[in-house]
């Protein structure tokens, strides 16, 4: 996971506006795409063609104003390929309409193959928006005054076969091992062999993304049991009234969400430009939650 922008609404010399790139095996996920995200990807050494999915939290400019440039670049880079990749764009209610309006602001031929998915959860219940054998992604409504989503990336549990145990039953490489890997029970030489007898189940990782919101039930749902919770902390709690008026979180509120949801690690982002260092925001959160740090641009995290 690479933080491409960690500032609040206004970019600073040290912090660009919102953008996070998550790489999982051969898939790339871009969570929000603020102004200058392409350049940040260049500096970080991230190939823009690695973006397979764009997850838009909401349509405030500091979270989407880099989209038009990214779409144009991806289209031009892939226009000559016989099999052009499809980029999936997920976002809240009105995403299709706002993308269409975005295309009207510039004159260019859109050469990118896109599939747009509008996500409209009901209430505070997370819904699965993407699901395959390796991972799933959930989304839920947040409270930011406009349609706004939180996302959770959830790796599936992985069954790891112990070949020594498998061979102790007289089984070598082959389709029977594949069935055990998939969690199936087999019969071999009249003996019933369960996956639990020859393997261990490694718990998949979970990352929660809460990038703009007031404290709400949806944020708690996204954070639940996260290995890493990436959460906005626009202000320290001295400015809690300002946070409430703007439907943002203080660092202490973010820490409370992490603490109450059994999160293992908290990374704060979306820091107001008023803070010249991250010390006040960090100390505010540490009053509640110990395993916390403040993200900085180009920070890399291996999950």
DSSP category for residue 195: H
Separation between Cα atoms, residue 298 and residue 79, nearest integer Å: 29
User: Tokens standing for 221?
Assistant: 């749902």
**How long, in residues, is the chain?**
303
Bridge partners (DSSP) listed for residue 199: 161
Torsion of CA 284, 287, 293, 296, to 10 degrees: 0
Catalytic residue among 32, 62, 284, 297, which? 62
**What tokens were used for 279?**
């010390």
Quote the tokens at residue 20. 């996070």
Question: Could you say which DSSP state residue 7 is in?
Answer: B
In the three-class reduction of DSSP (H, G, I as helix; E, B as strand; rest coil), residue 42 is classed as helix
Residue 62 designated active-site = yes
Beta strands in the chain (DSSP E): 2-5, 19-24, 27-33, 53-55, 86-91, 113-118, 127-131, 135-141, 149-155, 158-161, 186-188, 191-193, 199-202, 206-210, 228-232, 266-269, 292-294
Give the catalytic positions in this structure. 62
């Amino acid at each position: 996971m690479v933080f491409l922008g960690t500032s609040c609404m206004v970019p600073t010399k040290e912090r660009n506006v919102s953008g996070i790139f998550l790489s999982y095996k051969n898939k790339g996920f871009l969570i929000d795409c603020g102004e200058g995200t392409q350049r940040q990807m260049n500096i970080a050494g991230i190939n823009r063609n690695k973006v397979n999915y764009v997850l838009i939290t909401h349509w405030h400019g500091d979270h989407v104003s880099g989209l038009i440039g990214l779409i144009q670049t991806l289209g031009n880079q892939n226009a000559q390929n016989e099999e052009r990749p499809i980029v999936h764009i997920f976002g809240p209610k009105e995403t299709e309409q706002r993308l269409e309006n975005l295309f009207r602001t510039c004159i260019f031929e859109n050469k990118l193959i896109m599939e747009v998915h509008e996500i409209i959860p009901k209430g505070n219940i997370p819904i699965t928006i993407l699901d395959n054998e390796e991972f799933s992604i959930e989304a839920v409504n947040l409270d930011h005054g406009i349609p706004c989503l939180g996302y959770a990336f959830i790796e599936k549990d992985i069954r790891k076969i112990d070949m020594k145990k498998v061979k102790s039953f007289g089984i070598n490489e082959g389709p029977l091992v594949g069935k055990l890997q998939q969690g199936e029970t087999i019969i071999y030489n009249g003996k019933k062999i369960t996956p639990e007898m020859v393997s261990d189940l490694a718990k998949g990782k979970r990352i929660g993304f809460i990038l703009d919101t007031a404290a709400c039930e949806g944020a708690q749902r996204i954070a639940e049991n996260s290995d890493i919770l990436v959460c906005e902390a626009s202000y320290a709690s001295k400015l809690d009234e300002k946070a409430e008026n703007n439907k943002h979180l203080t660092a202490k509120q973010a820490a409370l969400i992490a603490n109450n949801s059994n999160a293992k690690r908290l990374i704060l982002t979306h820091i107001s430009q008023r803070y010249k260092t991250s010390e006040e925001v960090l100390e505010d959160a540490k009053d509640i939650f110990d395993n916390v740090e403040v993200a900085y641009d180009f920070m890399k995290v291996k999950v």
